Structure 1
Amino acid sequence: MPQRVHVARELAELLKLLAHPDRIRLIEELRLGECDVNTLARRLNLPPSRLSQHLGLLRAARLVEERRHGRQHMYYLVQPQIARWIADALAFVEVRAPAALAGEAREVRELWS
């Protein structure tokens, strides 16, 4: 029984980390492969400093790792299947959302799949 409590806490911590729209979008962008901060910032329309903060949190949780390529820092998902997991979770958004948002959620799921 205590192991279930410990595992449930770990899963709750992971879900808290993922509970930010910028980090969800960042993970989905990295599903395509490694990328540098400036390219990610441009694609996600986020300031590089804000993106770096999110990457730092994801690195601390060992969801993202960094590789240096000259002066560039390239980031990639340690377990790319997390992006699939997030895309699959969109089915729950579709069910709960108003019709207009449900359609958007379907489109995003197709895009992320």
Structure 2
Amino acid sequence: MKDTKQVLEVVKWFNNHGKALDLLRAQQKIIFLVVLHLILPVITRWTAHYCSLQCLKKVERAIWACVVTHEDTLRVCAGRKPEQIAAAEVIIETCKQNGFWKNITRYVDT
């Protein structure tokens, strides 16, 4: 369950930060030529959680490229408060971990 919690945090973070989401969309256009939307599931629907995991796994390369390419910008667009910057750093580090992406694969196979 820790893995799915991290997925939800990544999805929420990107969806709640317009500049970060714009950077991710641009990265998706470069890599995939299309933009997929990140899905935030309803707590009571496992299918929605599965779809959220599957979607995040599909855009793994774009998220990784976005985080690596725009790491400093993502930190800045998180906000000015130390807790906002700290939250951004957690998301950035999560997205850079190979183990995070491998764990998602345990739940979905794209």
TM-score by length of 2: 0.36
Say which structure, 1 or 2, has more relative contact order (CA 8 Å, 6+ apart): 2
State which structure, 1 or 2, has the greater radius of gyration over its C-alpha atoms.
1
